[in-house]
Amino acid sequence: MCGIAGIFLRDPAALPDAATLDALARALAHRGPDGEGRHVVPGAGLVQRRLAIIDLVTGDQPLHEPGGAALIANGEIYNYRELRAAMPGARFATQSDCEPPLHLYRSDGAGFARHLRGMYAIAIHDRGARRALLSRDPFGIKPLYVAETAAGLAFASEPQALVAAGLVAPRLDARARDELLQMQFTAGAETIFAGIRRLLPGETVLVQEGRIVARERQPALPEGGPEAIDAEAALDRFDRALAESVELHQRSDVPYGMFLSGGTDSAAILAMMARLNPRPVLAYTAGFDAPGAADEREAARATAKAAGAAHEELLITERMVWDHLPEIVAAIDDPAADYAIIPTWFLGRRARADVKVVLSGEGGDELLAGYGRYRSAMRPWWLGGRVMRARGTFDRLPLLRQPAGNWRDGLAAAEAAANRPGRSRLQIAQATDCADWLPNDLLIKLDRCLMAHGVEGRTPFLDPGVAAAAFRLPDALKVREGRGKWLLRQWLSRHFPAARPFARKQGFTVPIGTWIEGQAARFAPLLAADAAIAEIARPEDVAALLRRPLGKHGGFAAWSLLFYALWHRRHMRGLPPAGDVFDTLAAR
């Protein structure tokens, strides 16, 4: 796990600017506190900041192969041992999991990524062939951003690094801003930074003379509609797939643990880790010190005890949130206004005292159909069905100066792309979430909040073997009797009944709306006077919102405004946090 950046120049004889590479390295230092490597030759400059996880001694990057190509990578190739065994003639210089992709490039060219099982963003420069490749894993677990500049094609693990290096000016894309306000993340390849694009999940691009000249894309999900399989066969297949995935995701030369909530996804990860590990699993759970808040600590405590896990609980207080919210939001440069960034950031900070790797349950809801919106999407419109995210956060509140009429266009494009031959309504909804919500909200949250503390997050559900075992299941093995994730619940009832998989769950929420309402007298003038908020909403309307009981929708709208004000201050105006949330908003 690392941070990578660089530039492929249009002039193949020119050397990249050293100051630009220095700035990229500084901006990504938090992602790789264990070292730095560079590849600087005419036509290209690559920078890598390393978080050492596998091959602590000889795994420094860049990596080189006999043909002269160089590689830098952010991520983990979990099947690296199997890849090495399948290349008996290759001469490996290290034990790094990222060296096999370099040899695969020499044999397979741009198709090298089809052999990889893992999470990754990879850059390869082949000086002899005067070309380069950039590649991202199929689920988009690891981020990679590109920008076309006058000098050539720049890339980085985080868009803020491209801005910090002066390669791109911090200009706002208004369409993406509207997406963020209405649905808490942005869709597709375009980012909220004008001129910076995401490499799409599963995409590999070929670069020549500083320009992208070809693209290919590897899908995350298997093709085809629901298959014919009975429950017993499906459970057996899922058990084998999850066991293999968790075993691979535990490959590490440093200590690891896991994040445990009160839900089924993390309970399944814990159960499998407990099966595979001879020592107690180290599990971390967050809870909130707020009256009436949904607190999963008790359920997680019981689950951890049943698994024999070493369980660490973290109580997050309102004061902690106000003290650290500016730096939490500052870490989310590609903005995802998901209030789960709060516990994830604090859990990452706590876990870093013990481990460098944590396993987490992201992806379970998407692959096994856990969300209530899926059950609605399964029904035709005349039976009450509706498309996902039909209404945005501010559709219910007359607050914005200009209604965001096209905010759903990116999501509609994802829905159209997901509507492939044979797929059921449920599969289309799942595939839509896997295309945008998953990489651009949940995985950004996990990546930025953990890398802020130099911790690697791993997601065993987001594995090709698990996807093959789960995505094409019959709808009835995913959703039954009004509940999602039926197969996972059934698996837990057999293998780890202490998780109480069919019990009614409290649901995970962060009491941010309650906390904002309790501080409304302080927030109202600060947000109403904020220049970024004034561009999108009338100050008197913002103040009025915060002076009345917020309720569910008002609370989420208030949180979205607070997040956006802090994000804009840091990433558009370039101002660092200036104390707690109140001091930061007051600073001009």
Residue 62, preceding peptide bond in cis (omega within 30° of 0):
yes
**Could you tell me how many residues make up the chain?**
588
Q: How far is CA 251 from the centre of its chain?
A: 20
Q: How far apart are CA 370 and CA 360, in angstroms?
A: 16
Output the DSSP codes for 482-498.
TBS-HHHHHHHHHH-GG
Q: Which helix (H) or strand (E) holds 122?
A: strand 118-126
Do residues 238 and 491 lie in contact, with contact meaning Cβ atoms separated by under 8 Å? yes
What burial letters (b/e) apply to 169-208, b meaning 16+ CB within 10 Å? ebeebebbbbbbbbbbbbbbebbbbbbbbbbbbbbbbbbb
2 counts as catalytic: yes
Phi, psi dihedral angles at 132 (to 5 degrees): -145, 160
Any idea what the Cα angle at residue 349 is, between residues 348 and 350, rounded to 5°? Answer: 90
Residue 465 tokens read as 């073997």
Candidate list 2, 98, 434, 449, residue with the active-site label: 2
| Calpha distance 532→567 (Å, rounded) | 10
Angstrom distance (rounded) from CA 38 to CA 19: 13
Q: Whose CA is closest to 121, among 105, 101, 136?
A: 136
Tokens of 27: 């901006």
Burial 116-126 (b: 16+ CB within 10 A, else e): bbbbbbbbbbb
Do 29 and 48 contact (CB within 8 A), yes or no? no
Contact 358, 349 (CB under 8 A): no
Active site positions, annotated: 2
